[in-house]
Amino acid sequence: MHDTQSVNKQRIDLDALDEIWVFGYGSLIYKVDFPYLERQTATIHGWERRFWMGSHDHRGTPEKPGRVLTLHPVERAVCFGMAYKITHDVFEHLDHREKNGYLRELIDIALQDGRTIEGIVYIGHADSPAYFGPLDIPSLARHIFDSRGPSGENRDYVFALAQALRQHGVIDEHVVAIETCLLTLQSKDVEE
């Protein structure tokens, strides 16, 4: 476990923001276990989703970590997600939920209503001890297929995310490629 809760509390002066928005690109899109004042679909520019972060607490264990999302900078990329307008105190919950190596960062969020506002996103950087980094898609899928933790099967995280993105009409090639491999692994598993 690489707990970032205390460092995140110090990182960004939330009082300097007129409104507090957080951008979700992973489970925050579909697992909303916190109160919010408003939510809108949104995009951030210059980033793509990648299953390059280790999960020692949710979809894996310290002994056998799974793989979850972080953001990777890619020029001209557009990443779809969900933006939530929240109150300051909600960060207590979010920092706890996303404590394994993620840091709060300020980012420009393009809201569906046409406004671009500065908000917060959680990113697992390459220098985090919980960062696993790039791997080819079949190996990523195999790792995810073989992993599970207190929040459940690692593969179910991918399936839920892929479904949530599809419901919004979004095809994310990285997510779909891993989902396809996982479905193949799952069907082979059932046959055996």
List the one residue from 102, 132, 145, 157 that touches ligand BEZ (CB under 6 A): 102
Helix (H) or strand (E) segment spanning residue 103: strand 102-111
List the one residue from 4, 20, 21, 24 that touches ligand BEZ (CB under 6 A): 24
Would you say 24 and 83 are in contact if contact means Cβ atoms under 8 Å apart? yes
List the one residue from 98, 109, 111, 132 that touches ligand BEZ (CB under 6 A): 98
* CB nearer ligand BEZ, residue 35 or residue 138: 35
Catalytic one of 98, 105, 118, 192: 98
* Encoded tokens for 173: 């090639």
27 binds ligand BEZ, rule: CB under 6 A? yes
User: How many residues lie near ligand BEZ (CB under 6 A)?
Assistant: 9
60 binds ligand BEZ, rule: CB under 6 A? no
List the one residue from 91, 122, 132, 157 that touches ligand BEZ (CB under 6 A): 122
* Torsion angle, alpha carbons of 67, 176, 44, 93, to 10: -40
* Cα–Cα dist 115/162, whole Å: 27
Alpha helices in 40-153 (DSSP H): 90-97, 137-145
Least distance in Å: CB of 102 to ligand BEZ?
5
SS3 assignment, position 146: coil
Q: Which one of the spans 18-26, 37-45, 107-115, 151-159 is the region binding ligand BEZ (CB under 6 A)?
A: 18-26
Residue 98's closest CA among 64, 121, 126?
Answer: 121
Catalytic annotation present for 98: yes
- Footprint on this chain of ligand BEZ (rule: CB under 6 A): 24-28, 69, 98, 102, 122
